[in-house]
Structure 1
Amino acid sequence: MLKLVVVFAIYCVATSFAVTLTRYTDCGSKADIHSIVLEPCNSEPCIIHQLQNYTTHIRFTPKVTHQNANNFATGIIAGVPTPFAVSPKNACGNGLTCPIQAGLQQTYTATVQCPITTPLRIAAKWEVKDENNEDIICFVFPTTIVKH
């Protein structure tokens, strides 16, 4: 029994790695992004498995107050932006408390499933837009999609 518990504990630790992204590009955020943590991921560029769930923790400070916030995800494949469905679309009440107050540091946590079923290298773009369709948060990071 002890052997089974030890094996399970090692499995949990081995499959729950997270990395703080350093190789990302801010693409017009109206907030100061302090850190972006992606899990499970153990190095950059992240190896993302098809149809697996990934959680992002974004620590940021908005420069202005925003009433609403919506999620957008895009894969940039060979320079062509391809939008992906995000659920839930509304970030308010799903990781963020709205209105989002200017100057108040927050951590936004969102979980999405990798929608791509073909192995390839892409640039992943994540945006959280406000009621005026302006980016509160916007960043692009390299990733490689692999079979599960």
Structure 2
Amino acid sequence: MSTATSIALFIAVCAASTGLALYTDCGSVDGKIISVHISNCGTSARCILKRRHNVTMEINFKSNVESSSLQAVVHGIILGVPVLFDLPNPDGCKDSGVTCPVENGSTYKYVTTMPISSTYPRVTVDIKWELRDDQNKDLLCALIPAKIG
């Protein structure tokens, strides 16, 4: 195993063991993601979401703009097809730890809890989580590999 591969594997194992989710930035325009943490995620590269459990997600981010509002938009991407997920609270400024207006250059911790329903099918899914600013641009966009189990 090469040194680069060993380092990448070590980082992945450390991130998974601390609850830090492996994610890719999928188009943050007006902000920068600092970290993503998901509770009860498991230790694999793909976050295991257990049915009949709640999952809490924290996204630490820096805003590059001022915005009077934030709107959470979530899609589950299954076999390349995005499926809109109806959130119980899509207002990114309500009960999320973020107080609006957000300010240019400030950092925030967005927190949300989602129930993983027993009716959800057991599928592999990529979760596309967006927080849109008052201009409907992605303040942040995180793509999180997951599996509902």
- TM-score computed with the length of structure 2 as normaliser: 0.80
* 1:130 aligned residue (130, 133, 140): 133
Q: Distance in 2 between matches of 1:88 and 1:51?
A: 19
Q: Distance in 2 between matches of 1:81 and 1:63?
A: 27
- TM-score computed with the length of structure 1 as normaliser: 0.81
Q: Distance in 2 between matches of 1:89 and 1:105?
A: 20
**Structure 1 stretches lacking a partner, 5+ long:** 1-16
Q: Distance in 2 between matches of 1:69 and 1:59?
A: 14
Q: Distance in 2 between matches of 1:106 and 1:40?
A: 22
CA contact (8 A) 2:46 2:145 kept: yes
Residue 47 (structure 2) pairs with residue 46 (structure 1): yes
Q: CA RMSD in A?
A: 1.6
In terms of Rg, which structure is larger?
Answer: 1
Partner residue, 1:100: 102
Aligned counterparts, 1:25-64, within 5 A: 25-29=24-28, 30-43=30-43, 44-64=45-65
Classify the secondary structure of the residue corresponding to 2:66: coil
Residue 147 (structure 2) pairs with residue 144 (structure 1): yes
How high is the sequence identity, in percent, across the aligned residues?
30
